[in-house]
Amino acid sequence: MNDAGALGVWLFLTIVPSVAIVSVLWYVRARDQMRHELVLKVLESGQTFDSATLDKLLRPSATASAPPNRPPDPRDGYRTGGFVFFLMAFGTLVFAVTRSAVSYPLVALGLVPLLVAILIWWMGERDFRAGTLPTLKYQRDPREAHQSGGTVFFLIGYGTAFAGTVRSAGLSYPLIGLGLLVVIVAFRVWAVGDKEYRAGLLDGGALRTPDRR
């Protein structure tokens, strides 16, 4: 495959997950901003309210006959994040084995996000069963900024290593090395966020009632 085709695959593997992550973060922040503004308006009017009434005001399109939504699973964020990395791995592996000749460097590269996906799923399940999952206590993980920043670094590094692997002129070891270096930075950002959270240095999100059903 020529460089143009490889560039197209690289753009798909990096831009699509990035857009998905940014869209989710934008929605969460917009909803929190809406909640904040609504609370201020209610307080200024002198009225009292509870969380159930607030949720109804934030979802005006919901009908009275609609079935109640299940409580959010504290592991949802981990499951979604792991699935994004799994898609990256799956796309890379399919691309590697469907070329004119199987690209073993691409296979090795595709295993990296696959291992990250497995690690995310395992950590989410482990912390949930141990009762230490942040989202058992908070609506949002206090490490959200570190997780998002680390993901951006990972995508940049992974895309760089991918580009160095699929060059029509052959493998570019400096480019691959640079990409892997940025991936290491991503792991470092994730580790720093986890360390600061466990040390109590990060502010938490809004409190929630634990639901472990």
Q: How high is the pLDDT of residue 132? A: 83
Ramachandran region, residue 141 (left: φ > 0; alpha: ψ -120 to 50; beta: rest): beta
For the entire predicted model, the pTM comes to 0.68
Distance of CA 200 to the CA centre of its chain: 22
Task: Report the alpha-carbon distance of residue 142 to residue 134 in Å, rounded.
Answer: 7
**Token couple for 150:** 């680390």
Provide the 3-class DSSP secondary structure of residue 138: strand
Cα–Cα separations (whole angstroms), residue 78 to 59, 83, 206, 208:
25, 8, 18, 18
The answer to whether residues 108 and 179 touch, using CB atoms and an 8 Å cutoff, is no
Stretch 131-143: mean pLDDT? 83
Does the pLDDT at position 65 exceed 50? no
Per cent of the chain over pLDDT 70 is 65
Task: Report the alpha-carbon distance of residue 29 to residue 198 in Å, rounded.
Answer: 24
